[in-house]
Structure 1
Amino acid sequence: MLEIISPREYVNRPDVLADAGRYIKKYGKNVLILHTAKSLEVVKQQLFASLEKAGVSYELVFFAGYPNVEKAEAYASTYAKRIDAVVGIGGGRVIDMTKVLGNLLDVPIIAIPTVAATCAAWAAISILYTDEGRFIEVHANNRAPSLILADTRILMQSPVRYTYAGIIDTFAKWYELEPYLKLKWRDSDLLVTSDVAQRAFGLLIAQAGKAIAEAGKGIVSDAAVQTIDCILFLAGLAGSFKSDKPYRGAAHTFYNLSTQVFPAPQLLHGEKIAFGLIFQQVLLHKQPTEIDETIRLFANYSNLFTLKDFRLGNHSGQKIATLAGNISHAIQKEYLPQAGFAHSKQEIEAALYEADRLIGIGKEQLSI
């Protein structure tokens, strides 16, 4: 079984928001815009003028906190009869919320990311949380955004921390698929997604540093366009294929389940994934030299975080033990055993502490 859910249009170029109205009016003339305070400030000058020029009316809704179905239902009950499309402006949370709402109302979804921290603008799924930021589920929407408007200039001028996190999250697409390539049977889903993920990995290694350095000087180059393409388009494309084979990765399992035990809202998604990827390498018994190489790579993008950075608070040992048990259950229930992940609670707890130790050593050696 193979199912592909992907956007209809993806546009990545500097100042594309000056033409936003022309693109958006194909999907709706009365739109609801979900936004955060910062994201609206970044886009409003170009976006509002373009919408008005195109004859697209809009209503604004300030979104804060975490996406979940209850919030989507509340929005739907208020706006269902007044809109024919929904627009999400900002990062992953507001765009995930917009996707749930658009699917609930059965109207086109438009994503305007203002940071390149994840591939949420492309993906059909939404990550849902409690109001306290604890993971609930990976919510399978029936449709992806119809339109993605990625303004390269805005994305590259956002705080570099977000782009670094997006780079790590894109790296994860390759790291999490690589263990399955040793399997004797490899279906088209695995082959295509791993090829795309590996290409994104290589392009980011080659282009991201240059793009970020140039963006700091106010230059938005082809390297910037390629960097954004990797984080939004290629990483998103790698996640667009849905088969009956559970190609799970331990980094995202760590991310999802860790938020249930210690939400750590001060860290971005990709920053937590960085720890999860080192943890995965320990689980897979990778050679110390390979783990050290990964740590040094992540240091280039300021993404080395120990358990201390998660601010576990009181009873930290108990929290780690609880997390280890939850991850053990997930691996035994959801993962293909042939991938070779250690899966007992004791092994996983030891791997969490070992990843923490190795990252700490790396930070000390690199004077971070």
Structure 2
Amino acid sequence: MKVTTGPAQYVRKAGLLSEAGLFIKKLGKTAVLIGGNTSREIVEGNLRKSLSAQGITLTHSFWYGDESSISHINSLVEKLSSLSYDVLIAAGGGKAIDTVKAAAYRVNKPLVAIPTIAATCAAATPISILYSDEGEFIEISRDSKAPELVLVDSNIILHSPVRYLIAGIGDTLAKWFETKCSIKKVEPNVMNQTAIAIAGQLYQTLLQKGKAAVTSSETQRLTSEFEDIVDAVILVSGSVSGYGGDDCRTAAAHAIYSGLTIFPEVHQTYHGEIVAFGILAQLCMEGVADEKLKSVIRYYQEVGLPYTLKQMGINKLTDDQWKQLGNMTVTIEDMANMPFEVTPDMVISAVSQADRIGNELLLGK
């Protein structure tokens, strides 16, 4: 059995960026920073100072390329092949970090992740989600590595747009709903049973502290609830798939997310927001009572997650688009984790039902 449970080390602290060099120096004396343009602007000045204080040189800084796509990974690998350096540093959100994780795997270099938002668990997993250059989902890639070190500066996360944290809550909610579904297909063992236990605790943490964390982000006031949710989204969420592996990673909610990415309208909606809607559709697919679905939606209303197609930019789908969605979604490997066979018609029915019930609550019915 081979398991990668997550990063070798995770550190979270307000103002941590000014101390980053203390942790990175054990990995080498020269570093390359890769990430989003905004993220590099946020971290590079203080990071460079902290590295320099420890005798580390930040030799280059690159934009990762907007999408975690094969072409952008190839481009980074080509750039890196002509450079001399000891360690890669990834800064940004999930797509930036996933891109650098894939590049680090190819060039076989140590990796430090500095997430600047708490929107996904990308910094704590050994997989990369790949998209086309246009943002359509392609695959889950195992040609990726978990970072040796994850550095989370609470102040940076606190001052990022609140919508990212809300999306992170949506993505993390899926750990419970998908894991309790996918685990029905596998033989119980200590690893996947640990994963489902962690997922259950995550769910309770989100219910109990999610709203307070969102309020902390809105008011930019650092609280224990905020830091708990940051840890839940970035680290603990990743450990569910770390311990459970493919047994406990994803199911219909993520498959529906991937299917919806074929529509350009949703590309302005964040990963976790679409996944949150995918949870509702998955519950419909499982045949849960409408009242149970409504209780989940009421939590979405508390924290600000979308629960209708219109809220994600999709005003109307033609019959052909509905068929395209159904046909695409069932080909996503996440869907194979459902404990029953899913057909395109089941996807169409579930998405339609979730949207209908969501719109009823949106209208106050």
State the TM-score, normalized to the length of structure 1. Answer: 0.91
Letter in 2 for 1:107: K
Alpha-carbon offset, residue 151 of structure 1? 0.6
Q: Which amino acid aligns with 1:291?
A: L
**Partner of 2:21 in structure 1?**
21
Rounded Cα–Cα distance in structure 2 between residues aligned with 1:147 and 1:332 = 28
2:195 corresponding residue in structure 1: 193
- Partner Cα separation in structure 2 for residue 293 and residue 314 of structure 1: 26
Residue 36 in structure 1 maps to residue 36 in structure 2: yes
Mapping of 1:173-252 within 5 angstroms?
A: 173-180=175-182, 185-241=187-243, 243=245, 245=247, 248-252=250-254
Q: CA deviation at 1:329?
A: 4.5
Q: Take 2:51 and 2:136, find their aligned partners in 1: how far apart are those partners?
A: 36
Distance apart, 1:143 and its partner CA:
2.5
Residue 211 of structure 1 deviates from its aligned partner by 3.1
Does the Cα contact within 8 Å between 1:262 and 1:312 map onto a contact in 2? no
Does the 8 A contact of 2:167 with 2:270 survive in 1? yes
The letter of the residue matching 1:25 is K
* SS of equivalent residue, structure 1 residue 300: helix
Please report how far the alpha carbon of residue 148 of structure 1 lies from its aligned counterpart in structure 2 after TM superposition: 0.3
Matched, 1:352 2:345: no
Q: Does 1:79 align with 2:80?
A: yes
Q: Tell me, what secondary structure is at the counterpart of 1:239?
A: helix
Q: Is the 8 A contact 1:320 1:349 kept in 2?
A: yes
Which one-letter code corresponds to 2:40 in the other structure? Answer: L
Higher mean displacement: 40-49 or 100-109: 40-49
- Aligned twin of 1:90: 92
Task: Call closer, same or farther: CA 1:266–1:120 in 2, change over 3 Å.
Answer: same
Given the superposition, is the C-alpha separation of residues 353 and 214 from structure 1 closer, same or farther in structure 2, using an over 3 Å criterion? closer
C-alpha distance in 1 between matches for 2:284 and 2:293:
8
Q: Given residue 206 of structure 2, which amino acid in structure 1 is its aligned partner? A: L
List gaps (5 residues or longer) in structure 2.
Answer: none
Aligned residues between the structures: 363
- Going from structure 1 to structure 2, the CA distance change for 1:189 and 1:2 (only over 3 Å counts) comes to farther
Q: Given residue 353 of structure 2, which amino acid in structure 1 is its aligned partner?
A: E
Aligned equivalent of 2:318: 316
Q: Structure 1 residues 217, 335: closer, same or farther in 2, change over 3 A?
A: closer
Match of 2:363? 364
Instruction: Check whether the contact 1:6–1:143 (CA below 8 A) recurs between aligned residues.
Output: no
Whether the aligned pair in 2 keeps the contact of 1:34 and 1:98 (CA below 8 Å) is yes
1:299 to 286, 298, 301: 301
AA matched with 2:20: A
- Report the residue type matching 2:348 in the other structure: E
Q: What displacement does 1:264 show?
A: 1.9
Separation of aligned partners in 2, 1:244 and 1:11: 26
Q: 2:125 maps to what in 1?
A: 123
| Residue 67 (structure 1) aligned with residue 75 (structure 2) | no
Task: String of CA shifts for 1:232-274, please: whole Å, max 9, x gaps.
Answer: 1110111113556476411101112221354621100011011
The SS at the match of 1:32 is strand
Instruction: Percent identity, please.
Output: 27
> Equivalents in 2 of 1:254, 1:130: separation in Å?
17
CA shift for structure 1 position 310: 4.0
Decide whether the 8 Å contact of 2:67 with 2:131 is kept in 1.
Answer: yes
Q: Is the 8 A contact 1:129 1:135 kept in 2?
A: yes
Give the C-alpha shift of residue 220 in structure 1: 1.4
For residue 63 of structure 1, report the CA deviation from its aligned partner: 2.8
Deviation of the 1:190 alpha carbon: 2.3
Partner deviation per Cα, 1:308-344 (whole Å, 9 max, x = no partner): 34445886331121111233345898235xx246x23
3-state SS, counterpart of residue 124 of structure 2: coil
SS at match of 1:10: strand
Gap change, CA 1:49 and 1:251, over 3 Å in 2? same
What is the alpha-carbon distance in structure 2 between the residues aligned to residue 144 and residue 150 of structure 1?
15
Conserved in 1, the CA contact under 8 Å of 2:102 and 2:144?
A: no
Rounded Cα–Cα distance in structure 1 between residues aligned with 2:140 and 2:328: 16
- Residue 325 in 1 paired to residue 290 in 2? no
SS of 2:213's equivalent?
helix
Q: Which residue does the alignment assign to 1:109?
A: 111
Question: Normalization by structure 2: what TM-score?
Answer: 0.92
The aligned residue for residue 46 of structure 2 is 46
CA separation of 1:288/1:2 partners in 2, compared to 1, >3 Å: closer, same or farther? farther
Moved more, 222-231 or 280-289: 222-231
Residue 3 of structure 1: how far off its partner (Å): 2.3
SS of residue matched to 1:6: coil
Structure 1: any 5+ residue segments left out of the alignment?
none
Q: 1:135 maps to which residue?
A: 137
Deviations 1:153-196 (A, max 9, x none): 11122111000110111111001112246679522232111111
Per the alignment, in what secondary structure is the counterpart of residue 260 of structure 1? coil
Contact persistence 2:240–2:248 (CA under 8 A): no
